[in-house]
Amino acid sequence: GAVVSQHPSRVICKSGTSVKIECRSLDFQATTMFWYRQFPKQSLMLMATSNEGSKATYEQGVEKDKFLINHASLTLSTLTVTSAHPEDSSFYICSARDSATVHGYGYTFGSGTRLTVV
């Protein structure tokens, strides 16, 4: 089945630094990927839709200059948290849609990245 790999699984960074998270579709091409954030005991919140070769579409309230998304190939999207602060500490999850599947097929999620900003 379709597999989405996220790296790193855990990262600790100092306040003010930037962190890059990678999301790869391992055995399929994904023209569209999605980035979510999840705080403890809460549901997943969609941050942005990442489109290959074009600018990402951000959800309302998500700062595009803080959360930089690049989707330069059909198998890789990256999320960079710039000038991270402790309140950015969260669980970040990506998902991808197999471009070759028919309408209605489900999306595949990565295993998530736990970001801790100290």
Partner 1 sequence: DAKTTQPPSMDCAEGRAANLPCNHSTISGNEYVYWYRQIHSQGPQYIIHGLKNNETNEMASLIITEDRKSSTLILPHATLRDTAVYYCIVRVATSGTYKYIFGTGTRLKVLA
Whole-number minimum distance, CB 4 to partner 1, in Å? 8
Residues at the interface with partner 1 (CB under 8 A) = 4, 6, 32, 34, 36, 43-46, 49, 57, 91, 93, 95, 97, 104, 106-112, 114
Whole-number minimum distance, CB 44 to partner 1, in Å? 4
Between 36 and 75, whose beta carbon lies closer to partner 1?
36
Between 29 and 82, whose beta carbon lies closer to partner 1?
29
Contact 111, 7 (CB under 8 A): no
Between 17 and 111, whose beta carbon lies closer to partner 1?
111
Helices (H), the chain: none
Q: Name, in order, each residue with C-beta under 8 angstroms of 70's C-beta and a sequence gap of 6 or more.
A: 50, 77, 78, 80
Whole-number minimum distance, CB 88 to partner 1, in Å? 18
Between 47 and 117, whose beta carbon lies closer to partner 1?
47
Whole-number minimum distance, CB 38 to partner 1, in Å? 9
End-to-end CA distance of the chain: 37
Residue 102 identity (one-letter amino acid): V
> Cα separation of 7 and 12, whole Å?
13
Q: Helix (H) and strand (E) counts for the chain? A: 0, 11
